[in-house]
A = this chain, B = another copy of it.
Amino acid sequence: MSVEHTLLAVLSFWPSTGYNIKSEFEHKAAGLYWGMSYGSIYPKLKKLEDEGFIYTVEQEDEGRKKKLYELTSKGWEEFENWLKVPPSYPVIKDELLMKMSTWHEDMDYDILITHLTKRKEETEDILRFVKEWPQNGYSYISKLGTLSIRFAEMRLETELKWIAESIEALKKDDLPNGQDPHGNTEKLLERRRKAIGEKKEK
């Protein structure tokens, strides 16, 4: 029931519309929140309303009609009970790590360096945002929110450090030794060459 609880959590800050929730999640703040599409948000909001966790505060004052949702007492209770449940361990899907750790020696390292460089730029962008966010003067960030953001900051900085080290190592071809007790590196290259019918280069 995680999407529902995320919605309750967002609504705990202040009453919001479905559209608004989506935009809040758009810049998704470096892993603090994760994205949701309208296709999940609107039906879930309706469901939460049907079940009595939230209610609509119709708004028409600014010309546009929109549906503001607010938590009911049942909604607050559900939200707070969810807060008390020990969180499950985070899931990280990092394609770069997957690719890097399955990269093989007949594949040009330069392409990998390109991937790392792209990642570096993206991470720098997010880090810049994360650093400015708690000082922009208008966003609401609670004391504990600041602690969470501190984590994002530390994590992103660690990542940049690792990227720099990795690019260095790749450029100098100064890579650490792996662990290959059964000569797998060679076997892999042989299997590959046999399969694609290539003769050994170098």
Q: Mark A1-32, 1 if CB is under 8 A from B, else 0.
A: 01000100110111000000000000000011
Q: A119 to chain B: which residues have CB within 8 Å?
A: 87, 89
**Are A76 and B195 interface neighbours, CB within 8 A?**
yes
**Are A99 and B111 interface neighbours, CB within 8 A?**
no
Q: Does A159 contact B (CB under 8 A)?
A: yes
Tell whether A195 pairs with B71 under 8 Å between CB atoms, given A115-B87, A145-B101.
yes
Q: Mark A137-149, 1 if CB is under 8 A from B, else 0.
A: 1111111111111
Tell whether A73 pairs with B103 under 8 Å between CB atoms, given A94-B31, A141-B179, A155-B155.
no
**Are A33 and B98 interface neighbours, CB within 8 A?**
yes
Q: Does A122 contact B (CB under 8 A)?
A: yes
**Are A83 and B111 interface neighbours, CB within 8 A?**
yes
**Are B96 and A87 interface neighbours, CB within 8 A?**
yes
Q: Mark A68-103, 1 if CB is under 8 A from B, else 0.
A: 001111011100101110111111111111111111
A-side interface residues, number (CB < 8 Å): 94
**Are B182 and A98 interface neighbours, CB within 8 A?**
no
**Are B101 and A142 interface neighbours, CB within 8 A?**
yes
**Are A12 and B102 interface neighbours, CB within 8 A?**
yes
**Are A90 and B93 interface neighbours, CB within 8 A?**
yes
**Are B101 and A34 interface neighbours, CB within 8 A?**
no
Q: Does A56 contact B (CB under 8 A)?
A: no
Q: Does A42 contact B (CB under 8 A)?
A: no
A89, A98, A107 pick with most chain B CB within 10 angstroms? A98
A33, A73, A93 pick with most chain B CB within 10 angstroms? A93
Q: Pick the contact of A196 from B10, B73, B152, B191 — CB < 8 Å?
A: B73
| Interface CB pairs A-B, < 8 A, 13 | A9-B99, A31-B97, A32-B101, A80-B107, A91-B93, A100-B147, A101-B148, A104-B142, A137-B179, A140-B179, A151-B162, A154-B158, A154-B162
